């Protein structure tokens, strides 16, 4: 997604970027123009951060990036379920690798662009901790925050790393890879975790001093879909995103917020369709909100519409607005 030279992006940003002070929020030590951001998966290689920011996102999360380049899973690997406003993907962390992403992020960005970097395990890596550490070493110098992704269903064995006994040393390895520039560190979890496991991750976040959690990734569930079962079965394996995941994602958010208290940052993602959904997540305790599938269906002006509606809601709420520092 290219918007041409910087002057062209400035024109687009003038029309689309959030400017209402009612939306401004401070989170993860960052000053953001809006709490609404783009989730990882759309810009895997940090090739379009300036253009995506100009369309109206308060922040852009790139990736998932792996230490080594990899092709991902065979095509076709992305499928639309229009009746459900949903997607199924089994991309498999296709990306050009951490060094390539770092080189792109090292270039000058347009003013005000906030970029998070989502890192995952290379499929062929035998030592997960060393693999994540290598990605952190390459990318932390260029990130506004870093996300450890242990929740994609499309890399064999990855979700096993959500178990606290494996996740804790992984977090330590990533921190060790950061070097002198310590950026905020978050972990992204799956909606398919049992409630007891959600609680365990929340407790781990507090114990290890994580800066935040992202909830949730895609689901392997296919319950409650309007799309005919035969069509869903023909698509096969992959992570489901979009409207059907909204209820579970909201439930995980509420459970996490109750468990961790008011101070830990939580980025809520999964099933957010419009400003009403985003506002509900903020009211339920989200510090920030991310989208992916709704942007795919809604098109390039979707962020602008949602930001304007969010600004109206924030102004109407006044001192009761859920937008607060975390």
Omega into 27 within 30° of 0, i.e. cis? Answer: no
Please give the Cα distance from 180 to 307 (Å, whole number): 36
| Active site (annotated) includes residue 152 | yes
User: What DSSP state is assigned to residue 70?
Assistant: B
Q: Phi/psi of residue 324, each to 5°? A: -145, 155
Burial of 263 (0-12, 13-18, 19+ CB in 10 A): exposed
Q: Are strands 86-89 and 78-81 parallel, antiparallel or unpaired?
A: antiparallel
Strands (E), the chain: 25-27, 30-32, 36-38, 59-66, 78-81, 86-89, 115-120, 145-149, 185-189, 212-215, 239-242, 265-269, 288-291
Please give the Cα distance from 326 to 315 (Å, whole number): 20
- Opening angle at CA 58, ends 57 and 64, nearest 5: 75
Catalytic position from the list 34, 151, 152, 241: 152
Place of tokens 């269903």: 153
Omega into 75 within 30° of 0, i.e. cis? Answer: no
Residues annotated as part of the active site? 152
């Amino acid at each position: 997604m290219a918007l041409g030279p910087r002057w062209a992006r400035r024109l687009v940003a003038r029309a689309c970027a959030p400017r209402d002070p009612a939306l401004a929020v401070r989170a993860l030590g960052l000053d953001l123009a809006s709490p609404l951001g783009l989730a990882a998966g759309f810009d895997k290689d940090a090739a379009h951060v300036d253009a995506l920011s100009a369309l109206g996102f308060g922040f852009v999360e790139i990736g998932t990036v792996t230490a080594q380049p990899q092709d991902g899973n065979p095509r076709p690997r992305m499928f639309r379920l229009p009746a459900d406003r949903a997607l199924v993907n089994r991309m498999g962390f296709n990306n050009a690798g951490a060094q390539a992403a770092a080189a792109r992020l090292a270039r000058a960005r347009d003013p005000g662009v906030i970029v998070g970097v989502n890192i995952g395990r290379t499929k062929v890596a035998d030592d997960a901790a060393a693999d994540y550490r290598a990605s952190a070493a390459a990318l932390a110098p260029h990130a506004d925050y870093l996300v450890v992704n242990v929740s994609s269903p499309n890399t064999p064995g990855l979700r096993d790393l959500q178990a606290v006994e494996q996740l804790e040393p992984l977090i330590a390895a990533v921190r060790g890879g950061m070097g002198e520039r310590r950026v905020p560190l978050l972990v992204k979890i799956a909606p398919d975790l049992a409630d007891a496991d959600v609680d365990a991750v929340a407790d781990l976040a507090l114990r290890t001093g994580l800066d935040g959690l992202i909830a949730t990734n895609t689901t392997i569930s296919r319950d409650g879909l309007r799309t005919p079962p035969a069509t869903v079965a023909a698509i096969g394996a992959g992570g489901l995103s979009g409207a059907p995941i909204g209820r579970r994602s909201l439930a995980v958010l509420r459970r996490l917020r109750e468990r961790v208290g008011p101070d830990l940052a939580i980025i809520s993602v999964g099933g957010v369709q419009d400003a009403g959904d985003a506002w509900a997540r903020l009211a339920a305790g989200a510090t920030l909100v991310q989208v992916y599938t709704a942007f795919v269906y809604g098109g390039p002006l979707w962020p602008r519409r949602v930001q304007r509606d969010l600004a109206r809601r924030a102004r109407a709420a006044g001192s009761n607005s859920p937008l607060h520092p975390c």
